[in-house]
Amino acid sequence: MKKPDFSNLKAVFVNCTLKKSPETSHTALLMEVSKSIMAKEKVKINEIRFIDHQVASGVYPDMTEYGWDADEWPKLSKRILDADILIVGTPIWLGEKSSEAQKLIERLYAMSSQTNDKGQYIYYGKVGGCIVTGNEDGIKHCAMGILYSLQHVGYSIPPQADCGWIGKVGPGPSYGDKEWKGENLDKPVGFDSDFTNRNTTFMTYNLLHLASMLKANNGYSNYGNSREEWDNGSRWSFENPEYR
């Protein structure tokens, strides 16, 4: 089997932990597994810890135009748009993704009506996935919401596009913890989980494969999916019998 070349790809990891730097983030620890695979494959990697930045709440590209004193989203969105792959990392709180992850999705949505140079929505041709950590159940529930949102705004989602670690259901040590309730543990929790390591590896390579295929083909054809042409009157399926 010929080894694929992923060296022309760029990935951005957005960690939606509720902990500001330099506090240890369990989500960041699991993201390191995926990042290390991408680094081995010579993918260019960017990382954003969302809570470290002054990102306003709202659904417009720049919320300083809507009463906010500061909004770093315009700057951060350029880093996200520059990447071929977006990986959203989030902890689980009360069975849900974090408030920072929800804010990220809302700000991605704020730009989803913008178009690329083919007249398609701005995220077309880009690939999305997610990494979820916690010590209570909810990985699939969080992934369901995140991946639906990403595809709705235009990201492409490959098979097995999520991974995570929750350990035993119920309060307990989190991913990477070295102690629990004052007792030192034999080794960092979760690092030897074959299930988590397998899913993280498969997710990472599936993201790389799909991003590589899309990049090689300059994304999707804009035949039938161009917002620009639709607005200019080319409404294929409704007005032209040839496409019915």
pLDDT tens digits, 27-40: 999 999 999 999 99
Query: Residue 244 and residue 22: Cα distance in Å, rounded?
Result: 57
Q: Taking the domain 10-243, which CATH number applies?
A: 3.40.50.360
Mean pLDDT computed over 53-79: 97
Query: Is residue 76 over pLDDT 50?
Result: yes
Q: Confidence class of residue 244 from pLDDT cuts 50, 70 and 90?
A: very low
Domain assignments of the chain as residue spans, ordered by start: 10-243
pLDDT tens digits, 125-172: 999 999 999 988 899 999 999 999 999 999 999 999 999 998 877 778
Write the secondary structure of the chain as one string of H (helix), E (strand) and C (coil).
Answer: CCCCCCCCCEEEEEECCCCCCCCCCHHHHHHHHHHHHHHHCCCEEEEEEHHHCCCCCCCCCCHHHHCCCCCCHHHHHHHHHCCCEEEEEEEEECCEECHHHHHHHHHHHHCCCCECCCCCECCCCCEEEEEEECCCCCHHHHHHHHHHHHHHHCCECCCCCEEEECCCCCCCCCCCCCEECCEECCCCCCCCCHHHHHHHHHHHHHHHHHHHHHHHCCCCCCCCCCHHHHHCCCCHHHHCHHHC
Mean pLDDT computed over 101-120: 96
pTM of structure: 0.91
pLDDT tens digits, 187-223: 999 899 999 999 999 999 999 999 999 999 999 999 9
Could you identify the residue written with the tokens 């690329």? 116
| pLDDT number for residue 162 | 96
Q: Which of 60-69, 74-83, 108-117, 181-190 has the lowest mean pLDDT?
A: 181-190
CA 156 → CA 57, 104, 125, 161, distances in Å?
25, 17, 7, 10
Phi, psi (rounded to 5 degrees) for 10? -125, 140
CA 34 → CA 8, 123, 162, 163, distances in Å?
17, 22, 11, 10
Query: Is residue 90 over pLDDT 70?
Result: yes
| pLDDT number for residue 232 | 83
Q: Confidence class of residue 234 from pLDDT cuts 50, 70 and 90?
A: low
| pLDDT number for residue 1 | 79
Beta bridge partners of 48: 14
